[in-house]
Every structure is written in structure tokens, then in C-alpha cells.
A and B are shown apart, each in its own frame.
Chain A
Amino acid sequence: MGRLLPHPLLTPILAIVWLLLTNSFDPGQIVMGLLLGWAIPLISIRFWPEKVYIYKPLTLLRYSFLLLFDIIMANFTVARLVLGNPDRIQPAFVVMPLDLTSDLAISLLANSITLTPGTLSAQLSLDRKYLLIHAFNETDTKALVAEIKNRYESPLKEIFEKC
């Protein structure tokens, strides 16, 4: 397993990307995709220093649907604020302490924060303990941090980190 298939998650993802790229589901293309999915991680293993394990796949699935729903809601929120009076918007910078430690979980959290309503991740401190968030229209910063921790950080911690 270890040497021959260094990154077991990357193989199916690369195979699916190949199938989408060629836009056909012929058996030949599936074999080609699996071959590429096997060969590319072997060559590029040095760029993936961190081992990735998904401890709870079901939580990951639920998290993806939550994220999708939130992205759609975020678009309506931002659209409403853009069409409203721009003088009434009160932006704020919020510093959020992080509980996550793995690189992948932190980057997924930062991506989720940017894609969801009214918040945008702006900077990660060099020791990876604090995330600077720009809130579009927020006065209650404590509640915002609590909501992000509840909604996004704790599922990500469950999925990617052993408790």
C-alpha cells in the first residue's frame, strides 16, 4: 500500500478529473484515468508531505451539502448588500483563534470562510494559530467567531483530525 499507492485519495480524484476532461465514459478512458491516477501521485509524492486521512466520510458528505447551501445563501446576502445603500455597510476585521492543526483542514476552513456569507479569510498568522477574517457587515464579532467555530471548524476537526 505505502510505496505502490502513496496517496490513495488522489487516485480516484484524478481518475474522475480525467474522465470529466475527456468527457467520455468509455472503458478505455476509465483505465487511462486510473493509470494516470496511479502514476501522478508516484511522481509527485514529494509535493504531498502530509498524510491525509478521512476519519468520518459521512460527516464530510454532510459538510459538503451544508457548504453548498451556505454558498447559495451567501450569494443572496452579498447581492442584497451590494444593491442596498453602500454607505450603511459596516465592515470589520476579526481575529479568530484556530483549533485545527493540519494544513489541509486549515486551508479548507479558510476556503469555507471565504465562500460563506459575509466573511473572507484575509491572513493566517505565521504560527498557524490565528486567522484574520474580514467581515462584510458585522457588528457582533464574538457571535461571528462562535458561529464559524460551531458551523465549520468542529466538523472539519472531526473529519480530518483524530480526537
Chain B
Amino acid sequence: MLDYLLSFLILTGAIFTFIGSLGLVRLKDFYTRLHGPTKATTLGVGCLLIASTVYFSTRDAGVSLHEILITLFLLITAPVSAHMLAKAALHIEIPSLAKIPENKVSEYKKTRSEVVKQAGRQEVNPSSTETVKPDV
């Protein structure tokens, strides 16, 4: 019974990890490629880590829960790194299949150059920089 549960978890985890990387190869532009690894691998690695927890908890006497720490850590950090990558890609203007809202990108660039200019004048105050409102 336990063997079946473990096999199911391990196979699911491995298949999702595989699909995440498959998305990395198959999809057409950077922003869609970003979806594959961040989503599929979190569940994939999550399943594998739960399998590892179950395996070591039942094999030895005591419970072994420390793999949960990695799962939690990945669940918190995967979106953050995806957000940073998307931001960086928008900043250096990676081409996209979808239309990028123009004012959104230029807004960031404008305020950034303003911040840099202000830093040159020794008066950094990014919170007061005016931002252009995008039309929604």
C-alpha cells in the first residue's frame, strides 16, 4: 500500500519536473517559457519532497519532516525569481508574442533615469518621483 503511494508521488513529481523543462524547450517566447518552470517544477519537486518525507518517516523510527522546509522555501522563492526575471526581461526589451503595454515599460525607464539623475545630484528620493499613469 505504502509502496503504491510512494510510487504515485514519485512518478507524478518526476513527470511534472519533466514537463516543466519540456516547456522550456518547446514554447515560443521568453514570457511563456517563464510559466513552465515556475509552475510545473514547484509541484513536481513538492511531490518528490513529500515522497521523501513519507519514505524516511516510515523507514526509521522518528518522523522526518525537514524536507517540508525545502518545499516551503521553493513555494516562496519560485514566484519571486520569476517576477525578477520578468522584470529584467521587460527592462532589456525581450521581444514577446503578446503586445507589451508601451507606457508601462517606458514609465519604469523614465522614473529610473530620473532616479539616476537625482542620485547624481545627491538627493535620492525615489518615493517622490512622479509616475505616468497607464490607461487601463
- The answer to whether A and B touch directly, with their CB atoms under 8 angstroms apart, is yes
**Which listed residue, A17, A91, A97, touches B29 by the CB 8 Å rule?**
A91
* A positions within 8 Å CB-CB of B: 17, 20-21, 23-24, 71-72, 74-75, 78-79, 82-83, 86-87, 89-93, 95, 97, 110-111, 113-115, 118, 120-123, 125-127, 129-130, 132, 134, 136
Residues B23 and A114 in contact, CB atoms below 8 Å apart: no
Contact with A along B1-31 (1 / 0, CB 8 A): 0000000000000001001001100111101
- B44 proximity list for chain A (CB < 8 A): 75
Residues B43 and A82 in contact, CB atoms below 8 Å apart: no
A interface SS class? mixed
A84 → B minimal CB distance (Å): 10
Residues A24 and B62 in contact, CB atoms below 8 Å apart: yes
Which one of B32, B40, B101 has the greatest number of beta carbons of chain A within 10 Å?
B32
Residues A123 and B43 in contact, CB atoms below 8 Å apart: no
Residues A79 and B136 in contact, CB atoms below 8 Å apart: no
Measured between alpha carbons, how far is A24 from B68 in the docked complex, in Å? 13
Contact with A along B61-86 (1 / 0, CB 8 A): 01011101100000110111011001
Residues A115 and B79 in contact, CB atoms below 8 Å apart: yes
The answer to the question of B120 belonging to the interface, with a C-beta cut-off of 8 Å to chain A, is no
- A71 proximity list for chain B (CB < 8 A): 39, 42-43, 75
The chain B residue sitting closest to A111, CB to CB, is B79
Known: A114-B79, A126-B126. A21 touches B39 (CB 8 A): no
Residues B40 and A95 in contact, CB atoms below 8 Å apart: no
- Known: A24-B62, A95-B104, A125-B107; 4 extra A-B contacts, CB below 8 A, are A78-B23, A93-B96, A114-B38, A125-B104
The answer to the question of B97 belonging to the interface, with a C-beta cut-off of 8 Å to chain A, is yes
The chain B residue sitting closest to A115, CB to CB, is B79
Residues A126 and B108 in contact, CB atoms below 8 Å apart: yes
Residues A78 and B79 in contact, CB atoms below 8 Å apart: no
Residues B40 and A20 in contact, CB atoms below 8 Å apart: no
The chain B residue sitting closest to A87, CB to CB, is B28
Measured between alpha carbons, how far is A27 from B82 in the docked complex, in Å? 39
Measured between alpha carbons, how far is A89 from B28 in the docked complex, in Å? 9
